[in-house]
Amino acid sequence: DQQVKQNSPSLSVQEGRISILNCDYTNSMFDYFLWYKKYPAEGPTFLISISSIKDKNEDGRFTVFLNKSAKHLSLHIVPSQPGDSAVYFCAASALVPAGKSTFGDGTTLTVKP
């Protein structure tokens, strides 16, 4: 049973437009959510996170929205740039077990010039 799902394996957008990556979860104990970005032949790197006490967190071009009732979060990238082309992983964690995150399968974003 996959507790974190990214239902879109890939997404293609035009440079300058908005990219919206979606993530759904099933475990109501998750209270912290993270997005990671992964380039080929590199490990994932942390991008942005949100606590369940918030519904929005913004960092420059990146904004994460959390809808707890729907158990859904999304990552918005505005404006999208070709360098944003990568695989984006959604991850979720709970207070218990401490420190452990559950990852989605990732969405490959391609930003076309």
Partner 1 sequence: GAGVSQSPSNKVTEKGKDVELRCDPISGHTALYWYRQSLGQGLEFLIYFQGNSAPDKSGLPSDRFSAERTGGSVSTLTIQRTQQEDSAVYLCASSPLGAAGREQFFGPGTRLTVL
Binding site for partner 1 (CB under 8 A): 6, 32, 34, 36, 41-46, 49, 89, 93, 97-106
Q: Cα separation of 76 and 38, whole Å?
A: 16
Which amino acid type is present at position 67? N
If the CB atoms of residues 20 and 94 are measured against partner 1, the closer one turns out to be 94
Place of tokens 């399968």: 105
Shortest Å distance, C-beta 100 to partner 1? 6
Shortest Å distance, C-beta 14 to partner 1? 25
Chain centroid to CA 63: how far? Answer: 10
Q: Cα separation of 64 and 43, whole Å?
A: 21
Shortest Å distance, C-beta 64 to partner 1? 13
If the CB atoms of residues 36 and 85 are measured against partner 1, the closer one turns out to be 36
List C-alpha distances in Å: 4 to 18, 27, 58, 81: 23, 8, 22, 26
If the CB atoms of residues 33 and 85 are measured against partner 1, the closer one turns out to be 33
Shortest Å distance, C-beta 61 to partner 1? 19
